[in-house]
Chains A and B, each alone.
Chain A
Amino acid sequence: MNETVLFAVLSLSAIGVASAVILYFVAQKFKVIEDPRIDVVNEILPGANCGGCGLAGCRAFAEELVKTGDLSKLNCPVGGSDTMKQIASVLGLEAEEKEPMIAVVRCNGSRINAPQKVIFDGAESCAFAHALSAGESGCPNGCLGLGDCVVSCKFDAIYISPETGLPVVSDEKCVACGACVTACPRKIIELRKKGKKDRRIFVSCVNTEKGGPAKKNCSVACIGCGKCVKECPYDAITMQNNLAYIDYDKCRLCRKCAPVCPTGAILETNFPLRKEKPGEPGTEKVAEPVTAG
């Protein structure tokens, strides 16, 4: 073999070996010791990176879980109780039982209930419309229907109904990550307990105006009359700023409040149909169950 070639091969190999040795020691020196449980926890998590836990993504959540070793304040709404239990067993901790939640839209100002008075033709963004106008119906609190919540949802669980112009949350797809709650500039969307058999009762209005002006713009606005507050046997309903609010921790789904509401602002979902009392038909206000997605 030619001497030149031999020299070249040898010197290159020497450089290679030397670099490998240096790199090995550098790697040892700067090694980041990571808890192997982070990877395990990360595997269990759904990997949606939705931010529903309040952290940047699933990996960050896994790191936080392992680092703090405390499950009381951390919760993955997407995975739900099962996921949290699995994680708890890996970390040797006890997971709290959290009831599944779901996003509800607290506005029923559909095209019929709250007729359009002016045309908004700015950018298709609720945030913008909210900053500029009181809304097409004139209700300063109601849904603008431009779909900021739809854009924010990473689970395709919310869409704007073409008939009513209001957002509809899919019971199956919603994971209660809360992205839509943050996206809504009018604070209309709220996370509530999913309830047994998806049954929920809530006041579908956020208008804080007095009865007269509220009713003028929307026929199903809460007028703050307080009839539901008097009717509720469990003290679950409170009245603030002319607006009733049903506390989902206290509510036992007895359905007594809905029929007394004069404007029909209280909405019941997924309940069986009421037995019609003779003499007063047509008091039904059950929302249609959502099937499409």
Chain B
Amino acid sequence: MKTFKLGGVHPEENKISAAEAIEVLPLPAKVCIPVSQSLGAPSKVVVEKGAVVRTGQIIAKGESFISSNVHSSVSGKVTKIDDVIDTSGYKRQAVYIDVEGDEWEEGIDRSPEIIHDILPDRDTIIRKINEMGVVGLGGATFPSHVKLMVPDGKKAEYLLINGVECEPYLTSDHRLMLERGEEMIIGVKILMKALGVNKAFIGIEKNKQDAIVHLSVICSKHPGIEVVPLKVKYPQGGEKQLIKAVLNREVPSGKLPIEVGCVVNNVGTALAVYEAVQKNKPLIDRVVTVTGKSVAKPSNLLVRIGTPVSALVEFAGGLPEDAGKVISGGPMMGKALTSLDVPVVKGTSGILIMKGAESKRAAALNCIRCGRCITACPMGLEPVLLAQLSENQLFERAEKERIMDCIECGSCHYTCPAGRPLLDYLRLGKNKTGILIRNRGKK
């Protein structure tokens, strides 16, 4: 069974909601759609207070190269354009809409019929993906059209589709592969066409055996697309780890996957691409896993962007009494929420409610130099050293020790028997080192 060689950990799986079919969450009464929903510059609001919008109507335009459009996920009236508190408690600009009915923008094909014929024109495909605001749904929300514009002098050989879902607890990609596999594969074909490649691999961890079988059957009808079962190991969903696992190629430090002829996209993104190109449907909803050991009804929900997290928690049976933390994303890379009023955004892959006791961090003890973090690091770094350098503000040295290669997977923190907050210091160091490097470029 294929996997990446260096480091990695195997956290307890807990895919509680794996058997729950995707349910459509009823429309909320109000939505609040943050303007900045992709990596890069925030988009500019193009609607005014009091305007009546329809589902799928553009409400914020991405103006710079790395930025994407934001569309209204419901139909109704814009009540205000104001700040909303995001996951970290900071304020971000957002559009508030009161829901009235469910009228869709004309031109959006809502029939369940699957359209197999693909436009041959590469530029039209990329333009459509850009217009429909498709971003990477794996969590980092990198605008998809940018990935498809291969820089001059580089050539894409393979398309890698990330169906690994290595985060424990999350099952949204798993359900998508099972329920929307047919459409997803067309999405993959569209991506292949846009990139000009004739080989695509779908990497799936073997704990999703049913998805592997299901997609393999579909793929047998589509030459050039192959399902690659992978050993269960975290963080295999990381771009660089996935490339290493599937193709045994190594992306050089500080470079993008295109350097070794690859483009990696998430399965959710492939489906969003299908909907955008074939059905003219902007990215206005996504599948979110709501789960946790004490959650009454763990589910996979199709949620409109902008729905408050509280509505999802309510649907899953309310907040359990012993809830300690509500995490947006998976337990390894997710972020604890400060409030349940936070809206679901394009990057929200799951809502995890952890029990009080297990959500507590262990007190940080002294480092015993066991070296487990070094063994666990999938990038071959020395987290213990980097954390010390960052704590002592020696960023020049940290840069030499390749701190910028850290993918923030948290494997080091997970394995540390002394409970040291290694990832926290690495993130801090990465941030400061990044500032240092950028300032150097200015001079």
Contact = CB atoms under 8 A, between A and B. Distances in A.
Interface of A: 117-118, 121-123, 125, 127-128, 131-135, 138, 140
A132 B338 CA distance: 11
B89 A140 contact: yes
Nearest to A140: B90
B94 to A, nearest CB: 15
Given A117-B338, A121-B361, A133-B338, A128 B89 contact: no
A55 to B, nearest CB: 18
13 contacts: A121-B360, A121-B361, A122-B424, A123-B421, A123-B424, A127-B432, A128-B427, A128-B428, A133-B88, A134-B89, A134-B338, A138-B89, A140-B89
Nearest to B363: A121
A132 B88 CA distance: 6
B436 to A, nearest CB: 14
Contacts of A140: 89-91
Given A127-B428, A131-B428, A122 B421 contact: yes
B248 interface: no
B408 to A, nearest CB: 12
Nearest to A122: B424
Nearest to B360: A121
A125 B420 CA distance: 13
A135 B421 contact: no
Interface in B377-398: 391
A125 B428 contact: yes
B431 interface: yes
A222 to B, nearest CB: 18
Contacts of B424: 122-123, 125, 128
Contacts of B315: none
Contacts of A122: 421, 424
Interface of B: 85, 88-91, 335, 338, 360-361, 391, 421, 424-425, 427-428, 431-432
Contacts of A134: 85, 88-90, 338
Contact of B89 (A121, A125, A127, A133): A133
A30 B214 CA distance: 79
A122 B428 CA distance: 11
B361 A118 contact: no
A135 B90 CA distance: 9
B361 to A, nearest CB: 5
A134 B361 CA distance: 20
Nearest to B387: A123
B338 A118 contact: yes
Contacts of B391: 125
A140 B89 CA distance: 8
A277 B421 CA distance: 54
Contacts of B421: 122-123
A123 B89 contact: no
A133 B90 CA distance: 7
B54 to A, nearest CB: 32
A135 B427 contact: no
Contacts of A121: 360-361
A123 B338 contact: no
A9 B14 CA distance: 83
Contact of A123 (B88, B91, B425): B425
Contacts of A135: 89
Given A121-B360, A127-B428, 14 more contacts: A118-B89, A118-B338, A123-B424, A123-B425, A123-B428, A125-B425, A125-B428, A128-B425, A128-B427, A131-B428, A134-B89, A138-B338, A140-B90, A140-B91
A272 B164 CA distance: 69
A134 B83 CA distance: 14
A128 B387 CA distance: 12
Contacts of A133: 88-90, 338
Contacts of A127: 428, 432
Contacts of A138: 89, 338
A134 B86 CA distance: 10
Contacts of A125: 391, 424-425, 428
A125 B425 CA distance: 9
B358 to A, nearest CB: 13
A111 B361 CA distance: 23
Contacts of B91: 140
A142 B372 CA distance: 37
Nearest to B420: A123
A140 B338 CA distance: 13
B89 A131 contact: no
A118 B90 CA distance: 13
Contacts of B428: 123, 125, 127-128, 131
A201 to B, nearest CB: 30
A140 B335 CA distance: 18
Contacts of A132: 88, 335
A131 B85 CA distance: 15
Contacts of B432: 127
A32 B335 CA distance: 58
Contacts of A117: 338
A127 B89 CA distance: 16
A133 B89 CA distance: 6
A49 to B, nearest CB: 16
Contacts of B361: 121
Contacts of B85: 134
A138 B341 CA distance: 14
B261 to A, nearest CB: 35
B300 to A, nearest CB: 28
A128 B360 CA distance: 18
Nearest to B428: A128
